[in-house]
Structure 1
Amino acid sequence: MPSHSASAILFRNGTAAASAAQSLLSGQLLETWPVHDAQTLATALTAADEARAQGRFVVFALDYEVGAVLEAAVPQPEKHAAPIGYVWIFDGAQWLTSAEADAWLLSRDAVTAAGCLRGPAGQSAARYALKLQEIRRAIAEGEIYQVNFTFPLDVTLYGHPAHVFLKLAQAQPTAYAVYIDMPEYQVLSFSPELFFEVADRQITVRPMKGTAPRAPEAHADSAYAAALKASEKNRAENLMIVDLLRNDLGRVAHPGSVVVDRLFDVEAYTTVHQMTSTISATLKTSRLNDLMTALFPCGSVTGAPKVAAMQKIQAWESAPRGLYTGSIGWAMADRIQANVAIRTLILDPPIGEATASRTGVLGVGSGIVWDSDPADEYAECLLKSAFLTKPDPGFTLFETLRLELPAAELEATLPLVELFPRYRGHRSRLAASAQALGFAFDAEAFEAILWQVKAEVRQKAPVSEFSRSYRVRIDLAHNGAWRSSWAALPPLSERVALIWAESPLDASNPLLQHKTSVRTTYDAAIDRAVAQQAFDALFCNQMGFVCEGARSNVFVREGNRLLTPPLRCGLLPGVLRSELLSRGEASESLLTISDIKAASREGRLRVGNALRGLMPAYLK
């Protein structure tokens, strides 16, 4: 197994043969060179060239904003307080197979559920459409021919970042994926795009311009790929960028050596087809500073003409891009490889001691020409983020509903909401969780399985006065498959007993707000409560505030209203809880252990869920 280091960078080639050692893991960190401006960039890249000449392993991560430092015609931003790039120098690197790289990622922490939740886009569809009108006016007036317009998406991770990286990299294998785990920042890049690769004095660039969706059926998928390859719009955009990069290469290549090797290839990835072209040349120099000055940033993420497009991007986009559309790469004595940092997730620094989740930003964008359709371009941008929730997370979403089985003669006349009280609340919560976690959800199929369960209960359940209420569990798999189970719902005492759970919940864990089958902690707490003749166990979070029960939300009666913990404490938005809040019968408030104890003594403590309703409770 490769050695474990606190600071490490892994370049994972997911397209290599299983037996081929084509992934790279950094060795011992020797030097870190932050980049703030033109002078520090030149110094860092010179140090990098000197280090690789001595057999060291060099890694660079350069923000898109480095382009303004390199290009005098682009307005210079004020000197950045935070670095706009880094160069790291290591004593060497290990070549690994994909299996060895994946084993190293798994070794970073204990394996738990890991994945992503997509948050809101930094640009609404309506605002995006208005911005495209402005862009089209500039194109019509001849200021530019094409521009790559981008915006950010908020993302929340659950599980260790290394495990999230592994899951996404396996689901969408690319040749230029990178996992950066450095004190400066953490980055998960799943880039399919080569910026440039140098072997001795030969350089290859492969710009990516042109996108189409994938389809589950082979025939339809082939049709999408063929349509992309034949698209005049996408070919025109791709050719613009090919011409731009030929011009950029001419600044560092021997005259007459620039060759277009391939045009309009279509490459298939998990969620999209992409159009690429390949250009090569013989270099006059392979010094990093010369290469970056000539080529950075890649023309596929600017537009044409390049400098004019960069000027417009600085005016039109609402915030700096950061590492997104910049480049991450490595360099050795006679080899350099750099990606275009698209499909790249930059993580925010961790907050306090929270370890169960991290937030971050994923940039998305597309190339805009005069005849671009705003709705199509916006959809393409969102499509490029679909890979985040594509992998099966290894758990199900589920809802637990109460079925009130009526007398047989009344059954045919009752709607679903009469048979399953709070059915609409369950459907809304399940749909919201499915959207956030990337599960396939069909509301009609959910309704159909409930009717199916009702018929099954009617057929199989024993008829008695105690078996007219049933507990029904509906599980939704990531691929949209359903599973159901049911059992008679036994009565409870009027006032239920509670105990305290033994371990706290981590309020930062985003999965707490979704009802998933990841329930080891909850199930253990319920087992312990039942063993002590209690109904439920109450959890606190790591800050000492009360969260929820293992199978109920908690409430404290205060006059004529109920107080219940806010979602930020780390709890499930229960269907009953949501109902009480929407009717104004409850409000959110931080609750402490002392609050719960006092409410228990004074008869003001309540717990509730959609299955049982609101119940008086007391602490044992």
Structure 2
Amino acid sequence: MDDFTVITKLPGRLVKFSSPEEVINLSSANFSDALRFAQEYAENGGYVVSILNYQLGEYLVNQADGSNLGTLLFYKTCSKPAIRPCSDFAVTGIRLSQSRSDYCNALAEIKAELEAGRTYQVNYTTSVDFNFFGCPLAFFIHSLKTQPTAYNTIIKLQDRYIISATPELFFCAEGRSIYSRPMKGTCRLEQGEDFLRNDEKNVAENVMIVDLLRNDLNRICDNVHVPELLEVEEYKSLYQMTSKICGTLREKSFLKIIEALFPCGSITGAPKKSTMDIIRRVESSSRGLYTGSIGLNSKDRMLHAIAIRTVEIENGKARMGAGSGITVCSEPAEEYEETLLKTKFIEAGSEFRVFESILWDSKKREFARLNEHLERIMKSLGFFKIPCSREALRERLLSALGFSSDKRVRLSVNSRGKIAVESFPLIPWKQGWIGLRQVPSRPKAFTMHKTSRRLNLDLKNFTEHILHTSSGELLEGSISNLFLRFADRCITPPAESGLLPGVERAAFIRENNVLVRRLYLQDLLKADAIVFTNSVRGCIELKLPECIEKRSCVLQTPSQ
């Protein structure tokens, strides 16, 4: 993605904004003029994407620091984005920034404020930190499938990516009509929607925030009413309770709407000002964009969503805020679990594993080249910052000893460091066709390490597929490394070309007269033979003239 590109949802479709005419970073010095200009720009047919940080609320409500309030992006047109399925990303090391004890201590402070009557509800938040590898756009595409909401958005701001799967509407204004749909009240799917609808604590949270937003809307609206109260919505991992508050704007003014409503009461608590004072004192770090808003202004509509379930990625580090509403009825342990529940979408449907396939030699009663396999998987675990020790891996493998026949053994570690060992029947090389497969360019994290993000190609009727780039550079086989034999010299592509350097490849290079250099499709026509190496199946050499004459293998490009 290019800098300042936005992909977001409009009703029924995805739209892309790129190459903004103007970018305005908001501060106290330009805030009012910038919002007036944004309204004028949109009313003249343009589009304005707004990224408003929670700090803007501190500035509006408490006259706090007026820097780093947010960003406005101005676009003349939009287009339809080209979206293709992709899994080239991984997340590891997911952790809350607070320990359970620190979290419970903060809630004890909040409960003292509640009991003293200085607040009725506090939306307390913490953050989730994790490591991110690969393509942020792939993470966004994945979230469209696993966490579809009305407001899925990805924004690239130079080195920073914002990926939001927020389900919560802040406000929608069309003409003089405006409505807000705060989301307050959460439970697990197994608890059932009736539990949420009848739970005293969750109902109290929602009703208090409805009252707060009615008061906020009354500052700029007539005819404020609540047509929908305590509605339950189902998502992939939980139920959420929402209500809808409507009004008629006295004046269609983007600036006045933000001044009256920001930050949304559903992410502060009630009453807003005194509760924000408590939040500033109790929370351990700045919220940043989290609980601010992401919006789109066009000629006919202003649509802004609350920035929850929103991940920010920069230089391989990712952060997401998570929180819950605290009332006098709240139990700290339950609130902590609710906060953890809201982080589940990060990994939903995308479990990531680093693995090795190792040969169990039943005659020798040992794992072939075990030290080399352990060395390689430890390098991968270090790269992906997954906690696991070499000793733990060896012990787990040795506990699986006792196979009576040769096996392919899969040693894997998930993103949280959990080890698994599985065994499969040993399938030898078979005679068949050799397929040629062009593969897209991929992050090296997923080509140079053996992970669950490896390409999976069907070998039915094929001995192997030879993978190559769009420029015709040869890489490897789908389950093997590739060598071409020219007389008494073998040549293999370098790892830097974007391939997985296998354990058997290293052994073959040590034991044979091998040159490492780049190879291309035309080199296949000059080679005497093809050699594939695989640490479980061993090596197979196919002499090209004989193979073609006997039709035991045919160079063929299978249909894509």
Structure 2 length-normalised TM: 0.71
- Residue identity opposite 2:503 in structure 1: R
Which runs of structure 2 are paired with 1:285-434 in the superposition (5 Å)? 285-348=251-314, 350=315, 358-392=316-350, 398-401=355-358, 403=360
Alignment of 1:34 onto 2:9? no
From the superposition, tell whether residues 157 and 392 of structure 1 become closer, same or farther in structure 2 (CA, over 3 Å).
Answer: same
**Does the Cα contact within 8 Å between 2:481 and 2:502 map onto a contact in 1?**
no
Instruction: Give the number of the structure whose residues are more often strand, by fraction.
Output: 2
Aligned partners of 1:137 and 1:63: how far apart in 2? Answer: 28
1:401 deviation in Å?
5.0
- Residue identity opposite 1:42 in structure 2: S
1:6 deviation in Å?
5.3
From the superposition, tell whether residues 373 and 296 of structure 1 become closer, same or farther in structure 2 (CA, over 3 Å).
Answer: same
Aligned to 1:277: 243
From the superposition, tell whether residues 142 and 539 of structure 1 become closer, same or farther in structure 2 (CA, over 3 Å).
Answer: same
Aligned to 2:96: 121
**Does the Cα contact within 8 Å between 1:6 and 1:182 map onto a contact in 2?**
yes
**Does the Cα contact within 8 Å between 2:232 and 2:241 map onto a contact in 1?**
yes
Aligned partners of 1:371 and 1:511: how far apart in 2? Answer: 51
Of 73, 76, 88 in structure 1, the residue corresponding to residue 64 of structure 2 is: 76
Deviations 1:150-178 (A, max 9, x none): 11112333332112101112211100111
Secondary structure, counterpart of 1:528 in structure 2: strand
Aligned to 1:134: 109
Aligned to 1:575: none
Secondary structure, counterpart of 1:382 in structure 2: helix
Q: How many residues align?
A: 465
Of 452, 467, 473 in structure 2, the residue corresponding to residue 516 of structure 1 is: 452
From the superposition, tell whether residues 191 and 487 of structure 1 become closer, same or farther in structure 2 (CA, over 3 Å).
Answer: same
From the superposition, tell whether residues 316 and 530 of structure 1 become closer, same or farther in structure 2 (CA, over 3 Å).
Answer: farther
Which runs of structure 2 are paired with 1:1-40 in the superposition (5 Å)? 7-12=4-9, 20=12, 22-26=13-17, 28-37=19-28, 39-40=29-30
Which runs of structure 2 are paired with 1:203-242 in the superposition (5 Å)? 203-214=178-189, 221=190, 223-242=191-210
Of 25, 34, 46 in structure 1, the residue corresponding to residue 36 of structure 2 is: 46
Which runs of structure 2 are paired with 1:462-541 in the superposition (5 Å)? 470-473=407-410, 484-487=423-426, 509=445, 515-516=451-452, 518=454, 527-528=481-482
Alignment of 1:252 onto 2:220? yes
Secondary structure, counterpart of 1:239 in structure 2: helix
Secondary structure, counterpart of 2:192 in structure 1: helix
Q: Which runs of 5+ in 2 are unaligned?
A: 387-391, 429-441, 456-466, 468-474, 507-534, 537-560
Deviations 1:93-128 (A, max 9, x none): 35xxxxx55xx244xxx9562343352221111211
Aligned partners of 2:136 and 2:227: how far apart in 1? Answer: 38
Of 17, 22, 46 in structure 2, the residue corresponding to residue 56 of structure 1 is: 46
From the superposition, tell whether residues 305 and 515 of structure 1 become closer, same or farther in structure 2 (CA, over 3 Å).
Answer: same
1:249 deviation in Å?
0.4
Structure 1 length-normalised TM: 0.64
- Residue identity opposite 2:410 in structure 1: R
Aligned partners of 1:285 and 1:121: how far apart in 2? Answer: 43
Alignment of 1:165 onto 2:102? no
**Does the Cα contact within 8 Å between 1:136 and 1:370 map onto a contact in 2?**
yes
Deviations 1:316-352 (A, max 9, x none): 112211111000101123311000000011121x4xx
1:144 deviation in Å?
1.1
**Does the Cα contact within 8 Å between 1:328 and 1:340 map onto a contact in 2?**
yes
Aligned partners of 1:266 and 1:195: how far apart in 2? Answer: 17
Aligned partners of 1:527 and 1:541: how far apart in 2? Answer: 12
Deviations 1:64-97 (A, max 9, x none): 00001111xx2613x53xx320111111335xxx
Aligned partners of 2:256 and 2:201: how far apart in 1? Answer: 33
- Residue identity opposite 2:303 in structure 1: Q
Secondary structure, counterpart of 1:309 in structure 2: helix
From the superposition, tell whether residues 319 and 481 of structure 1 become closer, same or farther in structure 2 (CA, over 3 Å).
Answer: closer
- Residue identity opposite 1:68 in structure 2: E
**Does the Cα contact within 8 Å between 1:190 and 1:343 map onto a contact in 2?**
yes
Q: Percent identity?
A: 30
Aligned to 2:463: none
Q: Which runs of 5+ in 1 are unaligned?
A: 95-99, 215-220, 351-357, 412-416, 438-442, 462-468, 490-504, 555-609, 612-620
Secondary structure, counterpart of 1:210 in structure 2: strand
**Does the Cα contact within 8 Å between 1:63 and 1:327 map onto a contact in 2?**
yes
Alignment of 1:89 onto 2:80? no
Aligned partners of 1:150 and 1:477: how far apart in 2? Answer: 28
CA RMSD of aligned residues (A): 4.6
1:32 deviation in Å?
1.2
1:524 deviation in Å?
7.2
Aligned partners of 2:303 and 2:358: how far apart in 1? Answer: 55
Aligned partners of 1:34 and 1:385: how far apart in 2? Answer: 29
From the superposition, tell whether residues 154 and 551 of structure 1 become closer, same or farther in structure 2 (CA, over 3 Å).
Answer: farther
Aligned partners of 2:78 and 2:344: how far apart in 1? Answer: 32
From the superposition, tell whether residues 538 and 159 of structure 1 become closer, same or farther in structure 2 (CA, over 3 Å).
Answer: same
**Does the Cα contact within 8 Å between 1:195 and 1:298 map onto a contact in 2?**
yes
Aligned partners of 2:427 and 2:171: how far apart in 1? Answer: 64
**Does the Cα contact within 8 Å between 2:209 and 2:269 map onto a contact in 1?**
yes
Deviations 1:266-302 (A, max 9, x none): 1111122111111101111221110000000110100
Aligned partners of 1:236 and 1:524: how far apart in 2? Answer: 57
Deviations 1:400-432 (A, max 9, x none): 35647599xxx9xxxxx99xx99xx99x99xx9
- Residue identity opposite 2:21 in structure 1: L
**Does the Cα contact within 8 Å between 1:476 and 1:483 map onto a contact in 2?**
no
Aligned partners of 2:207 and 2:87: how far apart in 1? Answer: 45
From the superposition, tell whether residues 372 and 404 of structure 1 become closer, same or farther in structure 2 (CA, over 3 Å).
Answer: farther
**Does the Cα contact within 8 Å between 1:208 and 1:274 map onto a contact in 2?**
yes
